[in-house]
Amino acid sequence: MRKLIIAIASAAVLGGGTYLATGTNAAAEEVTLYKNPQCGCCENYANYLRDNGFTVTVKPTHELVPMSRKAGIPDDFQGCHLAFIENYVVSGHVPVDTVNRLLTERPDIKGVTLPGMPMGSPGMNGVKRQPFTVYEVGEGQPKVYTVE
């Protein structure tokens, strides 16, 4: 019986250690996502975030371009929707691994963007044809944050 208790306790400690070492998803993070009223892919992206543990409030708007500019995203780097998570902006169909990395590392930037509407990106139909280049936005020109 003692061996069983020790085995269970060890498993719990190792499991907890693994949980802490790998970090948590950004579960229960509040997201406000602004999108064009009729955009279905933006709604798909909101559902993708929900499926990955985020709480998402969707707000339809016709002001995405000026909102994106105000958030620091140059016109050529804007995605098709705009999300605010904690103190960061996430523009476009950014994969959740990148969003979680942003929230874990907490770099001194305004946020990240995946410009346009790449086929096969989260929330978009089609097959991924090339790696997604996600840019960081902050001071100066956007720089590559990651390639997925």
64-86: pLDDT as tens digits: 999 999 999 999 999 999 999 99
pLDDT of residue 94: 98
* pLDDT surpasses 50 at 16: no
Label residue 116 exposed, middle or buried (CB < 10 Å: 0-12, 13-18, 19+).
middle
pLDDT of residue 28: 58
* pLDDT surpasses 60 at 2: no
pLDDT of residue 24: 46
Region 14-42: what's the mean pLDDT? 67
- What CATH number does domain 26-147 carry, 3.10.20, 1.10.490, 3.40.30, 1.10.10? 3.40.30
86-103: pLDDT as tens digits: 999 999 999 999 999 999
* pLDDT surpasses 80 at 14: no
Q: Where are the domains of the chain?
A: 26-147
| Contact by Cβ (8 Å): 84, 134 | no
pLDDT of residue 109: 97
CA nearest neighbour of 117 among 126, 109, 108: 126
Q: What is the pTM of this model?
A: 0.81
Q: How many Cβ atoms are within 10 Å of 66's Cβ, its own excluded? A: 10
* pLDDT surpasses 60 at 23: no
Query: What φ, ψ does residue 97 adopt, rounded to 5°?
Result: -60, -35
| Helix (H) or strand (E) segment spanning residue 29 | none
Q: Describe the strand order of the beta sheet including 88-91 as a list of residue ranges.
A: 55-60, 30-35, 81-85, 88-91, 111-113, 133-137, 143-147
Region of 85 on the Ramachandran plot (φ > 0 left; ψ -120 to 50 alpha; else beta): beta
Which residues make Cβ contacts (< 8 Å) with residue 134, sequence separation at least 6? 94, 95, 98, 112, 113, 114, 144, 145, 146, 147, 148
95-130: pLDDT as tens digits: 999 999 999 999 999 999 999 999 999 999 999 999
